[in-house]
C-alpha cells in the first residue's frame, strides 16, 4: 500500500472547507484593485567574461555605443570586443496603491547569448507601462540564485544563470490612480466564477449587515452598496467584508499528471457503481548466446549459437466492485486493494470516466 503513495500524491482537497468557511478575500477581490506590469530594456555590466558576444548580438553593441555617446565618449563600434556586458529585458509588477518612493523587485532576463549574469549590475532602467509612460526606475546588483561553471571536460550548473532578480532595486516614480468605488457601490469579483458561491457571498453580506446591501449580478461579481455610516470609511467597510467566512462551491475534479504520476482528487468526487480489475502481462526475453572459439593460431572460425529464453508472466487480479457514492477515501482503499500502481491509477480513472461512472471532471496535464 505504501508503494503507491511513494510516487503518486493523492491530495484530498477542500476538507477543511467542509466544516470551516473561507474568507471572502481568499476567493475574491475588489473589482478595480489590480497590479500592472512594467517592462524596460537595459544593460548589465561587470560580468566576468560571461556577457554577450558582440559579434553575434548586434543590439548589445549598438546599446553600448549609444550609452557611451550619452557620456560624451565617441567610439568606433568596430573596435569594441566586450564580453563583460549583456543586453537584458527588465520586468516588474507594480502593485495597487504603490506610492512614489516604494521599493519593488525586478526580474532581469538576458536576450543575447550571455552565459551568465552572475556578479553583474543592472544599469538605470526606465520601466514603462502599456501606455508608454515611465512608472518606475530599476538599478542595482543582480542575484541569480544559481551558478554556471565549466572546464575543459566538465561543467556544473544550477538553476538558470541568465535570469536574475534585482531585490528592492525598483523605485516607483509615478502612482497609478485606482477607482474601486462607483456610484456609492463596490463590486466583489470572484476568482473562480460560480453561481452558488456568488449567491452565498450575497447571503452572507446581507445577513451580517442586517439589510439588503449585496446583490449577485452574475456568477463572477457581487455588487455591494456602501451604507451611509461607512461612506467616509470605505477601507474599514471593505476590510469587514473581506474577513467574512463563506463556504465556496467547487466543481468536483480529478487532476492527473501523466509525466510525474501525480493524481489530485477533490473531496467532492463520487464514483457510481462500477467493477474494476487491473491485470498485468509481462514478457521477459533473455539472450544468452553460446560462443565456440577456436584455439589460437588455428584455421577454425568462431561459432555463435543463439540461445533465447522467453518468459511470460500474467498477473491474476480479482474483479473489485466499487459501490455507489464511493468517497475519495473509499476509492483510494479500493485501488490499493487491487495493487494499483500510480500509472495503473491513472489508467483506471480514465477508464472509469469513459464508462460514465466518474462524477467529476477529469483534467489531464
Residues 12-50: tens digit of each pLDDT? 444 444 445 899 999 999 999 999 999 999 999 999 889
pLDDT score, position 194: 93
pLDDT score of 168 more than 80: yes
- Whether 351 has a pLDDT exceeding 90, the answer reads no
C-alpha distance from residue 52 to each of 115, 192, 205 (Å) = 8, 44, 58
Q: Is pLDDT at 80 greater than 70 in this prediction?
A: yes
pLDDT at 144 over 80: yes
CB 245, CB 22: distance < 8 Å: yes
d(CA 306, CA 303) in angstroms, rounded, equals 10
Torsion of CA 359, 360, 364, 365, to 10 degrees: -160
How far CA 67 is from CA of 3, 78, 81, 121, 214, in Å, comes to 61, 16, 16, 15, 57
- 205: pLDDT strictly greater than 70: yes
- Which of the residue ranges 175-184, 293-302, 309-318 would you say has the lowest mean pLDDT? 309-318
Name the pLDDT band for 196 (thresholds 50, 70, 90): very high
- The pLDDT assigned to 362 comes to 83
**Which residue in 10, 11, 12, 25 sits closest to 248, CA to CA?**
25
Residue 129 confidence (pLDDT) above 90: yes
How much is the pLDDT for 337?
Answer: 67
For residues 34-66, one letter each, b for 16 or more C-beta atoms within 10 angstroms of the residue's C-beta and e for the rest, the string is eebebebebbbbbbeebbbebeebeebbebbee
First to last CA, the chain: 25
Instruction: Please give the grid coordinates belonging to residue 144.
Output: 541569480
Q: What is the pLDDT of residue 4?
A: 42
Strand order through the sheet with 253-257: 12-13, 262-266, 253-257, 361-364
**pLDDT band of 7, cuts 50, 70, 90:** very low
Asked if 139 and 123 touch (Cβ cutoff 8 Å), the reply is: yes
Q: Which domains does the chain have, with CATH numbers?
A: 2-10+253-364 (no CATH), 22-33+179-246 (3.30.1360), 36-172 (no CATH)
pLDDT surpasses 70 at 69: yes
Cα(343)–Cα(328) distance, rounded to whole angstroms? 18
Task: For residue 230, give the DSSP letter.
Answer: G
**Using CA atoms, how far apart are residues 172 and 135, in angstroms rounded to an integer?**
6
Among 351, 337, 361, which residue's Cα sits nearest to residue 4? 337
DSSP classification of residue 75:
-
Show the cell assigned to 61.
553593441
CB 47 within 8 A of CB 87: no
Residue range 215-225: mean pLDDT, rounded:
95
On whether the CB atoms of residues 140 and 121 are closer than 8 A, the answer is yes
What are the two backbone dihedrals, phi and then psi, of residue 231, each rounded to the nearest 5 degrees? -60, -30
Residue 142's closest CA among 124, 117, 160, 161? 117
Residue 285 has pLDDT above 60, yes or no: no
Distance of CA 16 to the CA centre of its chain: 23
Cell 502599456, residue? 130
Of 105-114, 186-195, 333-342, the range with the lowest mean pLDDT is 333-342
Q: Vertex 50, ends 161 and 113: CA angle to 5°?
A: 75
Q: What per-residue confidence (pLDDT) applies to 10?
A: 43
Longest distance between any two alpha carbons in the chain, whole Å:
112
Average pLDDT over residues 165-177: 95
How far apart are alpha carbons 69 and 76 in whole angstroms? Answer: 11
The Cα 23–Cα 320 span in angstroms is: 41
Least confident of 91-95, 164-168, 258-262: 258-262
Question: Percentage of the chain with pLDDT > 70?
Answer: 76
On the question of pLDDT at 245 being above 80, the answer is yes
Residue 318 CB contacts under 8 Å (≥ 6 apart), including other chains: 277, 338
Identify any residues that bridge with 326 across adjacent strands, giving them in sequence order: 271
Question: Distance between CA 201 and CA 215 in Å, rounded?
Answer: 9
* Angle (CA) 306 309 310, round 5°: 135
- The residue with greater pLDDT, 41 or 59, is 41
Amino acid at each position: 500500500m505504501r508503494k503507491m503513495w511513494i510516487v503518486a500524491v493523492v491530495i484530498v482537497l477542500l476538507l477543511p472547507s467542509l466544516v470551516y468557511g473561507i474568507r471572502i478575500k481568499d476567493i475574491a477581490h475588489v473589482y478595480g484593485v489590480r497590479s500592472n506590469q512594467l517592462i524596460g530594456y537595459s544593460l548589465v555590466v561587470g560580468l566576468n567574461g560571461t556577457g554577450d558576444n558582440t559579434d553575434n548580438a548586434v543590439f548589445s553593441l549598438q546599446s553600448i555605443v549609444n550609452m557611451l555617446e550619452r557620456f560624451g565618449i565617441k567610439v568606433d563600434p568596430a573596435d569594441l570586443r566586450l564580453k563583460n556586458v549583456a543586453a537584458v529585458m527588465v520586468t516588474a509588477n507594480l502593485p495597487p496603491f504603490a506610492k512614489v518612493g516604494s521599493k519593488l523587485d525586478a526580474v532581469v532576463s538576458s536576450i543575447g547569448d550571455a552565459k551568465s549574469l552572475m556578479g553583474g549590475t543592472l544599469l538605470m532602467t526606465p520601466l514603462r507601462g502599456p501606455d508608454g509612460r515611465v512608472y518606475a526606475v530599476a538599478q542595482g546588483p543582480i542575484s541569480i540564485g544559481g551558478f554556471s561553471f565549466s572546464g575543459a571536460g566538465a561543467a556544473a550548473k544550477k538553476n538558470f544563470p541568465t535570469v536574475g532578480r534585482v531585490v528592492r532595486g525598483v523605485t516607483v516614480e509615478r502612482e497609478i490612480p485606482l477607482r474601486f468605488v462607483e456610484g456609492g457601490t463596490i463590486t466583489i469579483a470572484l476568482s473562480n466564477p460560480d453561481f452558488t458561491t456568488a449567491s452565498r457571498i450575497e447571503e452572507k453580506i446581507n445577513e451580517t449587515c442586517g439589510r439588503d446591501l449585496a446583490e449577485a449580478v452574475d456568477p463572477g461579481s457581487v455588487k455591494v452598496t456602501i451604507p451611509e455610516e461607512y461612506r467616509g470609511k470605505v477601507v474599514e467597510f471593505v476590510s469587514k467584508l473581506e474577513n467574512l467566512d463563506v463556504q465556496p462551491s467547487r466543481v468536483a475534479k480529478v487532476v492527473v499528471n501523466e509525466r510525474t504520476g501525480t493524481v489530485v482528487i477533490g473531496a467532492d468526487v463520487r464514483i457510481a457503481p462500477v467493477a474494476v480489475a487491473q491485470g498485468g502481462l509481462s514478457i521477459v526475453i533473455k539472450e544468452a548466446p553460446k560462443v565456440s572459439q577456436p584455439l589460437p593460431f588455428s584455421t577454425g572460425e568462431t561459432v555463435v549459437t543463439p540461445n533465447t529464453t522467453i518468459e511470460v508472466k500474467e498477473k491474476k487480479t480479482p474483479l473489485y466492485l466499487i459501490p455507489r457514492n464511493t468517497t475519495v477515501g473509499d476509492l483510494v482503499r479500493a485501488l490499493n486493494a487491487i495493487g494499483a500502481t500510480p500509472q495503473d491509477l491513472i489508467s483506471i480513472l480514465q477508464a472509469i470516466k469513459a464508462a460514465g461512472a466518474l462524477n467529476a471532471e477529469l483534467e489531464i496535464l
